[in-house]
Chain A
Amino acid sequence: MLMLALESSAKACSAALFEDENMLALSIQTSGLTHSRTLLPMAEDMLRNTDKKPEDLGLVAVSRGPGSFTGLRIGLAEAKGLCWALEIPAVGVSTLEAMAYGGPVLDGQMLCCCMDARRGQVYNALFTVEDGKPVRLTEDRAISLPELEKELIASQEPWILLGDGAQLCYNTLDRDKIALFMAPEPLRVQNARGVGLAAMDREPVSANDLLPVYLRLSQAERQRLEKLQNT
């Protein structure tokens, strides 16, 4: 089965094409141009260059969050359009899980996936690796750096940092108490290859049920709730 994977949760955007377990093509762009302009042409070119047509697709995988709200919606809206038109299912993949699948998956490694969520927090999930695949140790969450530091110290394990929040964690967390290693640069941030690999272990859903997981309310909702709590 032919699967298209899309990733647009952060600054880079990427698309990958899989025939069953084999990746046929991967395209990554870090031009800074909006994903709304670049992502779909990448997928279209990739299909053309591999002698495939959109109607050959059997599944679309996409990062469902956390990440840039707008970036996520671009990828998800494109996935929904493809799946709706082709009447094929979709898989929404956690961005942090995609990061782990695309990372250094050597058995026994401990992976700490982090995206800079601003406001003193990172979007984070922890994984270990068994039989060459990431195994989840925590849910995806928005967590403050001191809280994450406490957890990592308590684990007494060495951690490999991934994601665009890796440097922030490396610079901020107490390296006297935690053994921290930066993942090698090409394996550090999420891309569509990891999205595709993670999707293979997940149940597909319909285009209607493909939904983002922002992990955060909109600013207006947050401020309204704060106001209500203070009165």
Chain B
Amino acid sequence: MLILSVESSCDETAVALVADGRKVLADEIFSQVALHEIYGGVVPEIAARSHLEVITYLADRALDKAGISRRDIDAVACTYAPGLIGAVLVGVNFAKSAALALGVPLIPVHHIRGHIAANYLAFPDLEPPFLCLAISGGNTMLVHVRDYTDMAVLGRTRDDAAGECFDKSARVLGLGYPGGKPIDDLSKQGSDRAYDLPRPAVHGDNPYDMSFSGLKTAVVNLVHHAEQTGEPLDKAGLAASLCRAVSESLVGRTMDAAAALGCERVAVAGGVAANSRIRADFEAACAKAGKRLFVPPLRLCGDNAAMIGAQGYYELLAGHTAGSDLNAYATKAL
């Protein structure tokens, strides 16, 4: 079962070819980071324009790399939600007309389900059930993956995503966009005890819900205060303290949930999973609790289409296909 998959929900245009949900034959990505850098963040209209310009080039290259012809494609999968609506629309409309023309099924895939499925590509023996923390620039949620297409959201951020907290912090520290990598790099030169940052407290009855806006504001205020008073700012220490604060909120809740549900396998997914502090803390916590940890390699953490092809395969097996009236959505429940 060979699936052509398309991802265009934010600032990466991607097309992949994946066999049986597990084997990547081609994984083409065009990153728009250079287009958005000067604006300090993703500009939705610029993102949508760029997706449309490059999408067929990527599809051509995917066929070339895989050494297959269009007629070998058994189904077309695409991210249909959530994301920047103008951006998602490009991939959805390309994918659905390609599926119609090829006479094959069309499979809508939820972007976060795709991130979770990146683990199937990295770890051939991983099967549900497992617990997965999905963390990216736009989403932060703790998911009980009961089966390939049967998932329960245990908790989520009440406000900003963890990645948003890194991006905004990087911006005020003058580290550019996107912020995850420069914060991570800088944090290695500082002490994670340099600043006492708030641990996001969440009120309510769900112990797995998270919050990152208070932490983000604390970093912004610290930087502005230092600028105004002329006090020296330990940027590396602040970056390290921030990574520690984010990691502690994420890792603690995830391990609590794993214990409560009796999950022996813990997975992490999404762009923020590339953060080395979060990876290290999860390794230590899982080793201590005797759980097996799954974290995809860096290339599969960020947005890509291979993960959409992986999840698309299982959605197809479950009969989750769509017609040519498929629409794109900015938000959608997992």
Contacts and interface: CB of A to CB of B under 8 A. Distances in A.
Most buried by B among A38, A76, A85, A221: A85
Interface in B237-276: none
A155 interface: no
Interface string A209-231: 00110100011110010000000
Nearest to A85: B101
B324 to A, nearest CB: 4
Residue among A81, A214, A220 facing the most chain B CB atoms (10 A cut-off):
A81
A188 interface: no
A34 B101 contact: no
A221 B97 contact: no
A70 to B, nearest CB: 6
Contacts of A57: 101
Given A54-B101, A220-B46, A221-B46, A37 B327 contact: yes
Interface of A: 34, 36-38, 40-41, 43-44, 53-55, 57, 69-70, 73-74, 76-87, 207-208, 211-212, 214, 218-221, 224
Interface in B52-66: 52-53, 55-57, 59-60
Given A54-B101, A81-B97, A208-B57, 13 more contacts: A36-B328, A69-B86, A73-B48, A76-B52, A78-B93, A78-B96, A80-B52, A81-B93, A84-B56, A85-B97, A86-B101, A212-B49, A212-B52
A53 B103 CA distance: 9
B162 to A, nearest CB: 25
Interface string B94-113: 11111111110000000000
Contacts of A43: 324
Nearest to A212: B52
A38 B325 contact: yes
A54 B324 contact: no
Contacts of A78: 93-94, 96-97
Contacts of B86: 69-70, 73
Given A44-B324, A208-B57, A80 B94 contact: yes
Contacts of A37: 325-327
A218 B98 CA distance: 28
A87 B43 CA distance: 32
Nearest to A75: B93
B97 A79 contact: yes
B45 A36 contact: no
Contacts of B97: 40, 77-82, 85
B325 A81 contact: no
A77 B324 contact: no
Contacts of B90: 73, 77
B125 to A, nearest CB: 35
Contact of A70 (B39, B89, B100, B327): B89
B324 A36 contact: no
A194 to B, nearest CB: 21
Contacts of B43: 218, 220-221
Contacts of B60: 84, 208
B48 A69 contact: yes
A98 to B, nearest CB: 19
B275 to A, nearest CB: 28
Contact of A40 (B48, B93, B102, B328): B93
B323 interface: yes
A38 B102 CA distance: 20
Contact of B52 (A38, A77, A82): A77
Given A81-B93, A84-B59, A40 B324 contact: yes
Nearest to B90: A77
A44 B324 CA distance: 8
A55 B46 contact: no
A52 to B, nearest CB: 12
Contact of B55 (A41, A77, A85): A77
A214 B49 CA distance: 10
A54 to B, nearest CB: 5
B38 interface: yes
Contacts of B332: none
B103 to A, nearest CB: 7
